[in-house]
Chain A
Amino acid sequence: MTPLRGPILRGAVLGVVLLGLIAPIVVGLTETARAGFGQLPALGHVGWSLEPWRMLRDQPGFVTSLRLTLVTGVGATLIALALAVGFCAAMSSGAGAGRMRWLAPFLAVPHAAMAVGLAFVLAPSGWIARVFAFVLGWDQPPDVASVHDGWGLALMLGLVVKELPYLLLVMASGLSQVPVARQMAVGRAMGYAPGVVWIKVIWPQLWPLIRLPVWVVLAYGLSVVDMAVILGPSNPPTLAVAVVRWFNAADVAMILPAAAGALVQTAVVVVAIAALCGAEVVLRRAGLWWLRRGGRGWSWGPGLRVAQGGVVGLMALAALALLSLLVWSLAWRWSFPMLWPEGWSGALWMRADWRMAMLHTLVLAAVTVVLALVLAICWLEAEEDRARAPWAEALIYLPLLVPQIGFLYGLNVVFLRAGVAGGYAAVICGQLLFVFPYVMIALSEPWRALDARLLRVGAALGAGRWRRLLALRLPMLLRPIMTAAAIGVAVSVAQYLPTLFLGAGRIATLTTEAVTLSSGSDRRVTGVYASLQAALPFAAYGLAALIPAWWHRNRRDLRGGTA
């Protein structure tokens, strides 16, 4: 059997990644930048000019939009990070991956579905207000801005609820690489409060392992569209939403300031990440001083307990939001101030033409996840022959860091020229940009952690490269592979902008339908789509747990292993 030659494989995988992942972003950004500097021949704009930037500056509320973006994106990231750190520190004795498993469902739910659910729970006529109405005897909802508020608090809350489980799971996985128990014991023996040992000793080791995920959270929070449409301020909205609105404005000349705004959006993310790096340098110095001061920090306990309570409270809110989706989808009439629907009906489930959207979603998820898995396995397998190339690995994460709105418009123009726009191929390419990095993140650690001696034994017994991969590595890694696939499904299902822009709107998925319908008047129909949208990743995670358990039913040491 011809062995997979290391250099060739590495070259091929690098080529695919560069052409498939990096080129679209660079080319898309370039096209956007051309429009941003006045090059839009279709509308008769030729020649470079700064007119788009003048138009952008003169858009009412532009400065407010920019401020809202910074406040909500940075604020949500910092709050989520602080809560996650506090939670882990409070759980200090060992917040293993296993103990965090209860968070997986919240991670799986797409942002749009969570936002629709939260909007109902939080709205002035929502579930929480109805409880107050029941107790206080209100007959009409209060006139308060509890969603779409001008400060973006509801949006921040939504982002925190959605990013918290992600950060916690990332931290749990990072912690498994740090000898937490031993270091905690040493620290406590020296008289430090448990939470403080965690923050002083464990956290500095953990940060490098979670730095990139935090960047991703930050970039996402700054450029989110679907959640900001459903929960965020509207007059003006955050910058990313404003840019999407301008791209879609009736006055087509608005594409010019929209492109300029998309560039600003990209710059905002770059600057925010740079600022985070700067803060890291400063805090490292300050931390060293703090560490050497040697305070034992017993007074920290209550603060950490608050963080712990905050996490539990937010997850309870998330659970309530998801429950409300299901209840709405089955309600017939449910008016204020009723706590529970007055009439039930399955009619919406019977009627809603969700079957095509479901089919599109499933096909897209299946194809992108299989492609992403094959690519990731090739990439990791190629590692056997070489030292890891950190620069190439960093590039994989680029799609998660560059705001989608920055390059999707430009990318679509390129796809149109190539004649592949508006079809499955374009959407699959677009989704793969985001599915592949997450699959890589999920798969690379368990892959590298596999005991290499097993493979050496296999090789010594004469097993060739293919056989080692197919008979040893893949079966032993079935559980993490399935987990990576489930994460891939969740990411694919949740994609909104790529599906909308690159599919020419023809490929309607559960997510595009849910966001479109959330602009309609029937919350029950939205409930049907959002429930399905949330259920699909749940099902994927369920299968990811069940299949390896069944497959390995007679392999004791492979059950309940690394997940």
Chain B
Amino acid sequence: MKRSLLAVLPLLFATPALADWSQTLAEAKGQTVYFNAWGGDARTNAFIAWVSTQTEAQYGVKVEQVKLSDTAEAVTRVIAEKAAGQDTGGSVDMIWINGPNFLAMKDQGLLHGPFVADLPNAKYLDLGAGSAASVDFTVPVEGMESPWRLAKFVFSYDSAKVSDLPETMAGFVDWAGAHKGRLTHPDPSNFMGATFLKQALVEMAPDPAALQQPVTDAAFAQASAPLWAWYDALRPNLWQAGATFPASAEVQNQMLNDGEVDVSMSFDPASTAAGIAEGTLPATARVFVPKAGSIGNISFVAIPYNAAHAAGAEVVANFLLEPATQAHMQDISVLGSFSVLDAAKLDAAGAAAFAALPKAEALPALEGLGPVLLEPHASWMTRLVEEWAKRYTK
């Protein structure tokens, strides 16, 4: 109750933005927000259900998760609605989005906003130029999507079976040669498979700065040449001789659990510990990151231009940024996803909530994960996936 009182207090001295926010709250009351989010992770689904109970109690806003098997399904839906001239009352209120999907929607003018600056909890974010929350795969966010969870590329492996994993992506060639058929990666049409290639690209590109610019033919040829040489050497020793790939990292996790491969990967450093707790990974599974660091990015939520419940969606986006929500999310027994808030901007209560979180053996400390490597510009990922398909899909 104290928090809601604190939230109301500033309204007495309302600046225009906060007056707008009280209007947003009033408008949002009673709305049901259809949150289109990838539904392949039971813990994330449970977290979203928890968010719904909280926002309903605090703001009268219900959240209904529309479980996607691929985020692009929601993008297609908005496009279909636009094709049919449905410019208001659309069926998608909020999307868990980033990277190419965000770029596509932003380019096509399919997003509502800018709205992030209007969220009261945006004050806990570091939105300075070049900060992680202000760019999405190098595309400027410009207030069109709001961050909610941190993603960082990690490998997971069974420490009872493997102990000699390489320190660089380049080292995987020798490792796979010595462990024939024990390594694979998700199909690059899946974002985790694409990330595996990107991780290698970032490590091997002669000029990493070029990756931060939109891709050109010349830049791509130059930057990707070492990658393809590496991949050609690696592929024959992959699982099933690199002829077929698991559909997603989740399928590969299952293969790790079944012992079909020795390595899996994830964008969530806590997923290994979570998998052990859930019984979907062996108790000896551990996390590992290349020495030079790994790609990291932030997951966002965006609101389509024709969303029927945009106000409700803003309220939910704001709730996701509450320090208490973020701490709950980082709790290993809940979701274990690292917070997107700037620790320096937290107040004492917020900092204490984070300090009180429990630990787990397979849960790496944030410091142990190495440096965060920047995502290449989103156009690189599209190009990389296309080129991979051209080379290896016959």
Is B210 located at the chain interface by the 8 A CB criterion? no
A residues 466-525 touching B (CB-CB < 8 Å): 504-506, 508, 513, 515-517, 519-525
**Are A123 and B258 neighbours in the complex by a CB distance under 8 Å?**
yes
B residues 62-93 touching A (CB-CB < 8 Å): 64, 66-77, 79-86, 91-92
Is B373 located at the chain interface by the 8 A CB criterion? no
> Residues 238-281 of chain B: 1 if any A CB is under 8 Å from the residue's CB, otherwise 0?
01100111011111011101111000000000000001001110
Residues of B within 8 A of A445 (CB): none
**Are A42 and B75 neighbours in the complex by a CB distance under 8 Å?**
no
Q: How far is the CA of A72 from the CA of B388 in the complex (A)?
A: 26
Which of B66, B108, B392 makes the CB contact (< 8 A) with A506? B66
**Are B240 and A144 neighbours in the complex by a CB distance under 8 Å?**
yes
A125-B259, A335-B282 are known contacts. Are A520 and B393 too (CB-CB below 8 A)? no
Is A208 located at the chain interface by the 8 A CB criterion? no
B residues 84-140 touching A (CB-CB < 8 Å): 84-86, 91-92, 99-101, 104, 108
Is B187 located at the chain interface by the 8 A CB criterion? yes
Interface residues in A, total, Cβ within 8 A = 64
Is B171 located at the chain interface by the 8 A CB criterion? no
Is B382 located at the chain interface by the 8 A CB criterion? yes
Which of B41, B80, B91 makes the CB contact (< 8 A) with A520? B41
Stretch at the interface among B32-40, B342-350, B362-370: B32-40
Q: How far is the CA of A245 from the CA of B390 in the complex (A)?
A: 16
A residues 200-259 touching B (CB-CB < 8 Å): 229, 233-236, 245, 247-252, 255
Within the complex, what minimum Cβ distance (angstroms) separates A119 from chain B?
10
Residues of B within 8 A of A233 (CB): 244
Is A417 located at the chain interface by the 8 A CB criterion? yes
Is A416 located at the chain interface by the 8 A CB criterion? yes
Is B42 located at the chain interface by the 8 A CB criterion? yes
Q: How far is the CA of A60 from the CA of B100 in the complex (A)?
A: 20
A143-B181, A523-B254 are known contacts. Are A332 and B279 too (CB-CB below 8 A)? yes
Which of A60, A64, A337, A505 makes the CB contact (< 8 A) with B77? A505
Q: How far is the CA of A513 from the CA of B40 in the complex (A)?
A: 9
Residues of B within 8 A of A505 (CB): 36, 66-68, 73-74, 77
Residues of B within 8 A of A343 (CB): 279
Q: How far is the CA of A345 from the CA of B280 in the complex (A)?
A: 13
A42-B79, A61-B393, A417-B84 are known contacts. Are A519 and B251 too (CB-CB below 8 A)? yes
**Are B39 and A516 neighbours in the complex by a CB distance under 8 Å?**
yes
**Are B83 and A42 neighbours in the complex by a CB distance under 8 Å?**
yes
Is A149 located at the chain interface by the 8 A CB criterion? yes
Residues of A within 8 A of B275 (CB): 521
* Closest B residue by C-beta to A516: B69
**Are A255 and B49 neighbours in the complex by a CB distance under 8 Å?**
no
**Are B91 and A148 neighbours in the complex by a CB distance under 8 Å?**
no
Within the complex, what minimum Cβ distance (angstroms) separates A205 from chain B?
45
Q: How far is the CA of A140 from the CA of B40 in the complex (A)?
A: 27
Taking A42-B84, A506-B34, A521-B280 as known contacts, 14 extra A-B pairs with beta carbons closer than 8 A to each other, sorted by chain A number, are A43-B83, A143-B181, A248-B73, A250-B99, A252-B76, A255-B76, A345-B279, A413-B83, A417-B86, A505-B74, A513-B67, A517-B40, A519-B248, A522-B278
In the complex, 30 of the A-B residue pairs with CB atoms within 8 angstroms, ordered by the A residue number, are: A40-B83, A60-B389, A60-B393, A64-B394, A123-B258, A124-B260, A141-B258, A144-B240, A145-B240, A150-B243, A234-B244, A235-B392, A251-B100, A252-B76, A252-B79, A252-B108, A333-B279, A337-B259, A345-B279, A353-B49, A413-B84, A416-B84, A416-B86, A417-B84, A505-B73, A516-B39, A516-B67, A517-B39, A517-B40, A521-B254
